[in-house]
Structure 1
Amino acid sequence: MLTPPRASVRIVPVSSIDVRGWDEIWRLTSRFYAADRGYVERRLKAVQHLALLRARPGRQLVGMAAIEEDLLTFEGRRTVVTFTSHTVLDPRYRGQNLLQRVGLRRTLRTWLDHPLKHKLWAFDSGSARGYLLLPRNWPVFWPRHDVPTPGWESRFMSEYGRRKYGSSWQGDGIVQRVPQKRLLPLAATLHGVVLTDPHVQYFLQRNPGHAEGDTLFCMVPLTLGNCWGLLRNMLARWLRGGSQR
């Protein structure tokens, strides 16, 4: 199997995307989702930034993620949440730490802009492979099979989920599917995922409706220790030759 070319990461304001760019985004999206284009574009145009992952040298769009930043105070703690959605990546480019590089860039920006605030990363995962991004990269994350979510974090996730998802929020960490967008069977497949992995088993138990489009809400504390753990895991993967996402 040929090694794919290296890819670059660029984070841009949504307002900078032109008509050609939206066509590219739709072509990539339609590889992973059965979706209404109007719905997808309306949702993406409401966020602040897009991370665009492009293969070199042809600059083909091979991955992306939508990025929002929410500021709120909960139980007296001033908190900034980096929320990502619509994250897709061509499977050939797994192992290049592309999504991890997006996370590190946004985390650094958040630390510079909000040094005194509590910092979190949040997203909802519609597949076991997406959920595995957490244990393979971050020392601390929620929810997980081996450690209960702490009290403040559990209450915050419930409150933030209610605010973020409205009527789609189920109250148990599950975000109910919407008819305008769902993963294609090929994107949701468990091919290459070890079913006996306890993290995979936990995801499948917590989110039995994932194949129909339900997602599991997840959160990561962006502490210095946790970010250092991410860096260590990225370095270890690079030293192994990028064999694992």
Structure 2
Amino acid sequence: MKSWLVPLTKLHPSDRIAMYTLLENHFQGITWDGFQTDLARKNWVLLLRDEISHALKGFSTLMLCQTSFCGEKISVVYSGDTIVDPSAWSSTTLPRTWIAAVNFLRQQYADNKLYWLLICSGFRTYRFLPIFWKEFYPRYNKDTPILIENLMASLAQEYYGDCYDKATGIVRFKSPQILGDGLIEIPKGRQTNPHIQFFTTKSPGYRFGDELVCLTEICYENLTHAGQRMWEAESPLEFVQDSVLI
């Protein structure tokens, strides 16, 4: 597969339709208006396409911005809608190009610490954290430091407003997107994974669209060996009609 990092302002209408269709095929509760509203709050879209057919196989939307916490300027990546068609699950294109894209974008705010705030309604999304990041929160084997807990709460409150419940660390949308049966079920043999057990315990309403707020710092030193391989992998960036081909 090939991937393009596209500014939202350059996203083609046909891509919006393809993105919506892909979401609708794998989530319940998707509406065109809700999709458009969420997309409008982002400024970048990562598109994954089949090299031969050019069909959209996955995408991830994100917002990169600056804010302040405890008197310090920081940069934040907020993750939005993300989906990969099951036919492309064997590919590492999404994590590889997502890490490459963020590495490219962080150059806009090179002097600031960069954090990734993501919300997880499925165990597969949460599993990205222990695979690629050393320190992330919340996690099963380490309490969340007070400073990180406050940072997560501040960012989640700022972005999600009343949908965020600080006491539980959960974002609960009025019209949640719920993973389809084929994606929400945990395969046999994986229920005993401590990270997955923690996720289902921390967010027992994930089956109904509850989203667990998570945070990690994006820097090379915080990557696992797998993450560092993704970071270091050859992934040339080319500008194509104001977009970035990864």
- Distance in 1, matches of 2:11 and 2:178, equals 24
Give TM-score scaled by structure 2 length.
0.86
Amino acid in the other structure paired with 2:211? T
- Count of aligned residue pairs for this structure pair: 229
Matched, 1:63 2:58: yes
- 1:231 paired residue number: 227
Query: Which of 4, 7, 19 is the equivalent residue of 1:13?
Result: 7
Give TM-score scaled by structure 1 length.
0.87
Q: Decide which moves more: 152-161 or 99-108.
A: 99-108
The Cα of 1:234 is off from its aligned counterpart by 4.5
Amino acid in the other structure paired with 1:203? F
Matched, 1:203 2:199: yes
Amino acid in the other structure paired with 1:147? K
Three-state SS of the structure 2 residue aligned to 1:25 is helix
The Cα of 1:30 is off from its aligned counterpart by 0.8
- Distance in 1, matches of 2:27 and 2:64, equals 24
- 2:67 paired residue number: 72
Q: Are residues 24 and 111 of structure 1, via their aligned partners in 2, closer, same or farther at CA, if it must alter by over 3 Å? A: closer
Is the contact made by 1:47 and 1:66 (CA closer than 8 Å) also made in structure 2?
Answer: yes
Query: Which of 31, 36, 46 is the equivalent residue of 1:41?
Result: 36
Q: Are residues 106 and 232 of structure 1, via their aligned partners in 2, closer, same or farther at CA, if it must alter by over 3 Å? A: closer
Is the contact made by 1:177 and 1:212 (CA closer than 8 Å) also made in structure 2?
Answer: no
Matched, 1:182 2:181: no
- 1:128 paired residue number: 123
1:129-161 alpha-carbon deviations (Å, 9 max, x no partner): 211111122112111000112221111001111
Q: Are residues 87 and 193 of structure 1, via their aligned partners in 2, closer, same or farther at CA, if it must alter by over 3 Å? A: farther
The Cα of 1:199 is off from its aligned counterpart by 0.4
- Where structure 2 has 5 or more consecutive residues not aligned to the other structure, the ranges are 232-246
Matched, 1:112 2:107: yes
Amino acid in the other structure paired with 1:225? E
Is the contact made by 2:170 and 2:210 (CA closer than 8 Å) also made in structure 1?
Answer: yes
Identity rate, percent: 21
Is the contact made by 2:48 and 2:56 (CA closer than 8 Å) also made in structure 1?
Answer: yes
Is the contact made by 2:63 and 2:79 (CA closer than 8 Å) also made in structure 1?
Answer: yes
Q: Decide which moves more: 171-180 or 131-140.
A: 171-180
Q: Are residues 234 and 178 of structure 1, via their aligned partners in 2, closer, same or farther at CA, if it must alter by over 3 Å? A: same
- 1:89 paired residue number: 84
The Cα of 1:26 is off from its aligned counterpart by 1.6
- Distance in 2, matches of 1:193 and 1:218, equals 25
